[in-house]
Structure 1
């Protein structure tokens, strides 16, 4: 009997994660149950997800999905694996699923290059004050005044760049920064000297990285020890006219402290992640000229989405053939992340 694979991914996202060749590979693994086009926007309702997952051995999820709590799991007694097309699985699975022997895997590795590239693009934009010039010209500032509206601009060549977290995205970012001549120092207690040598970076403590870098890019995971690791004291260590890039997680920074620091105009920042999402239309960050904002889309390239679907298919194939999963999230690991 072939496995039943429930695909709880709305049609628009399904087209991105599973282009034709990837979808064909998925279909070869078992009998597919796909959410109806009209129900894609209702996957956040436990009843809709339960109905789809009912006879499934494997459930493929995306971010609109409801959590797999008792009622959903009760409706899917055969469920053995959840494969998430994104990175963070904490909103979707918890103790209930693990207690019933459901295993979990995710496709976060697919986004490393995309997030690294966006962080790199934001770095260049901030260094060259592109965001300030764009705002000045769009809001009718006279030409000469627009030219004078930004702090001094800098090239990446020889620029001291601090990276907080040598994660997958951090390493992709480091590769790009070093290719253009940036001089990188990393704060990461788990990065060995040998790994640092291979990456071409120096290792230092967080305070040193903040104090000595013109650019600071955050690429750390949210763990108990990294939650709100950047507060008012840490932000004050940044040099005047430094730039801060956060494409990682909002919880790494004290949002109130960051807003207060940005309101002084002393530093510039590019932000892709927020404590409150969607970011309210009247949020004060939206009106600051020294802030460049994107709507939590750093990992959303066409290529990253297709890679994510490919990882899901590979993980399902490994699971169904009894091979070890390469991207499994255990309950112990899930408990450590924010």
Structure 2
């Protein structure tokens, strides 16, 4: 549906459909990921749609403001401008922001909450995918798959390539999880299913929750010093930014393994690079301080580092589940029913 006719509707035209108008602030490629096939048909059935021009820069507040004119709902994805006061001034009918991802901090603002624009998100959709990739990275590090691959691809002699550091099985290993988030809990379940012993550091994890997860609560220092694998699943908050620095990395045992599918800001980049260059620890990283990761970045050349391009959540199933969650939330909102994934202003303090 084009921008020109998006204001029309089978429900009686612009005036009748104004309270149901849905602006989709996502480019065509992302729309097809989150709303493939029948899901797009379901979205169009909920009300008249407003779509941006195919190459519109949705990070431009002016472009977003134009898109939101007369919209009651905005469906957002990555790279969208925040709901700033000027954007909201151009969107007097806006009542709901439905985000296809997890973190709404870049989009919801104090101004939007003050205007009583409600917020919902689809973070539950990606938890399993991220947990599963974190598990895959964990297994690869334990078995030194990344080192073998690097050695063979760079022409190392066969016998030398086989001389990797000691390998371990997940079964019986202690795995430290920093952050009992949705992804952290998905990862915990997978690790425990394969026989790993899990310890968790999270100030919000209660004893009852730890018992239900089958994990033991520990301090960050104890987790780092006592775990074969450390997997990060915490949000980026003032108290977690740079929480893993040179001192913390030094606590990890020789041969320790670090997995980060959360956010690069949790780890001090220079300290991590120094620890990896020393060869004392190995790491698997899906997130980076600079994205795209420059082609000449030293991380790309280290044999003890496994790299993926910030795609842990990017499975077909994860994207479709996100679209399904958004559609269900839109139906609830339009029917006046409670939202199941609503984010309140006070929740932002705990969300990355």
Q: Do both proteins adopt the same fold according to a TM-score greater than 0.5, normalized to the shorter chain?
A: yes
Distance 1:8 1:190 in 2: 33
2:31 corresponds to:
14
2:111 corresponds to:
96
Point out the more displaced range, 28-37 or 78-87: 28-37
**Aligned pair partner of 1:263 in 268, 277, 283:** 277
Deviation at residue 188 of structure 1 after TM alignment: 1.6
Q: Which runs of 5+ in 1 are unaligned?
A: none
Counterpart mapping for 1:1-80 below 5 A: 1-2=16-17, 3-39=20-56, 42-80=57-95
Deviation at residue 36 of structure 1 after TM alignment: 3.1
Q: Is the 8 A contact 1:85 1:312 kept in 2?
A: yes
Give RMSD over aligned pairs.
Answer: 1.5
2:4 corresponds to:
none
1:311 corresponds to:
325
Deviation at residue 87 of structure 1 after TM alignment: 1.2
Q: Secondary structure at the residue paired with 1:37?
A: coil
Distance 2:260 2:28 in 1: 30
- Deviation digits for residues 40-75 of structure 1 (CA, Å, limit 9, x no counterpart): xx2222232222211100011111222222332222
Counterpart mapping for 1:163-174 below 5 A: 163-174=177-188
Deviation at residue 327 of structure 1 after TM alignment: 1.6
Distance 1:204 1:28 in 2: 50
Distance 2:217 2:196 in 1: 15
Q: Is the 8 A contact 2:177 2:233 kept in 1?
A: yes
Q: Is the 8 A contact 2:235 2:350 kept in 1?
A: no
Counterpart mapping for 1:121-200 below 5 A: 121-148=136-163, 150-200=164-214
Deviation at residue 176 of structure 1 after TM alignment: 1.0
2:249 corresponds to:
235
Deviation at residue 330 of structure 1 after TM alignment: 2.1
Distance 2:249 2:49 in 1: 50
Q: Does 2:120 correspond to 1:105?
A: yes
Distance 1:333 1:53 in 2: 25
Change (3 A) 1:210 1:335: closer
Deviation at residue 27 of structure 1 after TM alignment: 2.0
Counterpart mapping for 1:232-311 below 5 A: 232-311=246-325
Point out the more displaced range, 109-118 or 195-204: 195-204
Deviation at residue 256 of structure 1 after TM alignment: 1.4
Q: Is the 8 A contact 1:127 1:155 kept in 2?
A: yes
- Deviation digits for residues 223-271 of structure 1 (CA, Å, limit 9, x no counterpart): 2222211111111111100100010111211111111111110000011
Q: Does 2:135 correspond to 1:117?
A: no
Distance 1:197 1:162 in 2: 16
Q: Secondary structure at the residue paired with 1:12?
A: helix
Q: Secondary structure at the residue paired with 2:48?
A: strand
Q: Is the 8 A contact 2:39 2:324 kept in 1?
A: yes
The alignment's TM-score, normalised by the length of structure 2, stands at 0.91
Q: What is the number of residues matched between the two proteins?
A: 335
Q: Secondary structure at the residue paired with 1:229?
A: coil
2:8 corresponds to:
none
Point out the more displaced range, 28-37 or 234-243: 28-37
Deviation at residue 77 of structure 1 after TM alignment: 1.2
Q: Is the 8 A contact 1:230 1:252 kept in 2?
A: yes
